[in-house]
C-alpha cells in the first residue's frame, strides 16, 4: 500500500510496508557483511540516540537508520561531534519533480531524489525494485552511549 506525504509542498509516494520488509532482511551497517569498519560501528551505535524528530523522519519512510546506508564520516568537528553523510534508499517516488530541496529536521538535513531508471546500482541492494528514492542524510553526531 502506497502512502502519500506532503514534504516541502511536494507529494512523495512511499511504499512504507515494502521498504520495512526489505530493511528487516538487511544486516546492520556495523556488521562485517555490510561494512564493519570502526566508523560504521560508531554510526550504528549513535544514530539510535538522535532526537525523536529525526527518528520519526526515517520511520515515516520505513527506513531503519542502522541498515542499508553507505556511510561516510566526513570530519571531526571542534566540539567533539563527527559530521556524517549517509545515503539510504526506499521504495517510492517524488511526484512532479526529480528531487526535493534540503529538508532540515533539527540538527540534520535530508535530501530526497528519485532514482527511477537508474537500476541496477552497486549502491542499492538488488532486492529493492523501482521506483526508488535516494535519501541523503547529513548529521553532526555525538556519542549518546
- The model's pLDDT over 6-57, given as tens digits with 9 standing for 90+, comes to 999 999 999 999 999 999 999 999 998 888 899 899 999 999 989 999 999 9
Residue 87 CA neighbour count, 13 Å, CB half:
13
This prediction's pTM: 0.90
The residue among 1, 8, 6, 139 whose CA lies nearest residue 77 is 139
3-state secondary structure of 49: helix
Residue 132 CA neighbour count, 13 Å, CB half:
23
Query: 31-52: b or e for each residue (b if 16 or more CB lie within 10 Å)?
Result: eeebbeeeebebbbbbbeebee
Cell numbers 528519485 correspond to what residue?
A: 114
Amino acid at each position: 500500500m502506497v502512502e502519500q506525504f506532503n514534504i516541502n509542498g511536494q507529494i512523495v509516494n512511499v511504499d512504507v510496508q515494502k521498504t520495512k520488509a526489505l530493511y528487516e532482511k538487511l544486516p546492520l551497517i556495523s556488521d562485517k557483511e555490510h561494512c564493519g569498519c570502526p566508523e560504521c560501528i560508531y554510526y550504528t551505535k549513535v544514530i539510535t540516540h538522535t532526537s525523536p524528530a529525526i527518528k520519526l523522519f526515517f520511520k515515516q519512510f520505513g527506513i531503519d537508520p542502522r541498515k542499508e546506508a553507505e556511510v561516510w564520516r566526513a570530519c571531526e568537528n571542534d566540539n567533539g561531534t563527527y559530521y556524517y553523510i549517509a545515503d539510504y534508499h526506499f521504495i517510492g517516488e517524488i511526484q512532479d519533480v526529480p528531487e526535493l530541496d534540503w529538508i532540515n529536521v533539527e540538527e540534520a538535513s535530508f535530501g530526497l531524489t528519485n532514482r527511477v531508471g537508474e537500476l541496477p546500482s552497486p549502491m542499492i541492494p538488488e532486492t529493492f525494485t523501482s521506483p526508488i528514492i535516494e535519501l541523503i542524510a547529513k548529521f553532526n553526531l555525538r556519542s549518546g552511549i
